[in-house]
Amino acid sequence: MLLTRNQISQLAESGEINIIGTRSEIWLGVPLFSGKKAMGAMVVQSYDNPYAYNKDSIYILELMAHELSSYIARKEAEQDTLKLSKAIEQNPVSIVITNKEGFIEYVNPKFSEITGYSGKEAIGQKPSILKSGAHSDEFYRELWQTITSGKDWQGEMQNRKRDGSFYWENVIISPILNESGKITNFVAVKEDITEKKNIIEELKIAKEKAEESDRLKTAFLQNISHEIRTPLNGILGFSELLIQEWTSPEERIEYNEAIQISGKRLIEIVSNVLDISIIETGQVILNPESST
């Protein structure tokens, strides 16, 4: 846009622009673009020469604006690439990028930290260097068919580190497509879930132990109930016989002895139960000693 002093005055009077400072004799401005979106303008103006700029000046300024726009776009792209690179480098999960044949082209530092393979050792290899033998050929065949068809694959996988130890990962593998929709690369994002799976396994074992403990307690209570009822029934039964008129003195002595035996047995059972209870609460610690 090339504006003379009169045109500038008209725009100011109509409220379309605000003049700050001295009004120029001539004003020339061209937009700066980012793609198809205007992001600013390049402006020159003269305060003393109303003929300072012409159509040639517009052409030259447009060329300069185009070059400046391209430079700014390149810088923005470099900044975006740097941000993306930093995000990948500092990511807390493993990131692996392969070519379309499956050969590793890039691994981030977290991959090396988890697997023990340096970037130099991993690049040029296939991810199969991590195979643990825990999964079937069909497992890997299905994975490859999924990602080569353009779909994402997600699942858990047990792999082997460089030192031979095993670990578990939650893996998402996605194909990278070019503008024509063809696969150029694959990217895998992998989270180490070994500790998580160990905790889950420990919880399962603890649950099974708790359930077994409940079963043992139930069986114990049932046995104790039986053991207590047996002498108690003896005490009650023989006590009933003692008061019968037809019971002879000899029988009363016999019944009394039976009651004594049942009573002692009952006391012994109750004492044993109390001892077990004290041991379980930790009030008594058993120190087994070998007998000679």
Model pTM greater than 0.95?
no
Of the CATH numbers 3.30.450.20, 3.40.50.261, 3.30.1050.10, 3.60.15.10, which one belongs to the domain with range 92-192? 3.30.450.20
Q: How confident is the model at residue 247 (pLDDT cuts 50, 70, 90)?
A: confident
Render pLDDT for 179-203 as a digit per residue (tens, 0 to 9).
888 999 999 999 999 998 888 888 8
Helix (H) or strand (E) holding 250: helix 249-280
Sheet bearing 26-34, strands edge to edge: 2-4, 26-34, 37-46
> What are the C-alpha distances in Å from 238 to residues 72, 160, 195, 242?
107, 73, 64, 6
**pLDDT > 90: what percent of the chain?**
38
Assign residue 45 a region: left if phi > 0, alpha if psi is -120 to 50, beta otherwise? Answer: beta
**pLDDT > 70: what percent of the chain?**
93
DSSP one-letter string for 50-117:
TTS--HHHHHHHHHHHHHHHHHHHHHHHHHHHHHHHHHHHT-SSEEEEEETTS-EEEE-HHHHHHH--
The whole-number pLDDT of residue 20 equals 85
Residue 283 above 70 pLDDT?
Answer: no
Q: How confident is the model at residue 112 (pLDDT cuts 50, 70, 90)?
A: very high
Report residue 74 as tokens: 């390149």
Q: How confident is the model at residue 281 (pLDDT cuts 50, 70, 90)?
A: low
Higher pLDDT, 87 or 197: 197
Tell me whether the CATH fold assigned to 92-192 matches the one assigned to 204-280.
no
Domain ranges of the chain: 2-87, 92-192, 204-280
Looking at the domain that runs over 204-280, which CATH code has it been given? 1.10.287.130
First to last CA, the chain: 112
Residue 129 above 80 pLDDT?
Answer: yes
Do the beta carbons of residue 108 and residue 92 sit within 8 Å? no
Is residue 178 classed exposed, middle or buried when 0-12, 13-18 and 19+ CB atoms within 10 A define those classes?
A: exposed
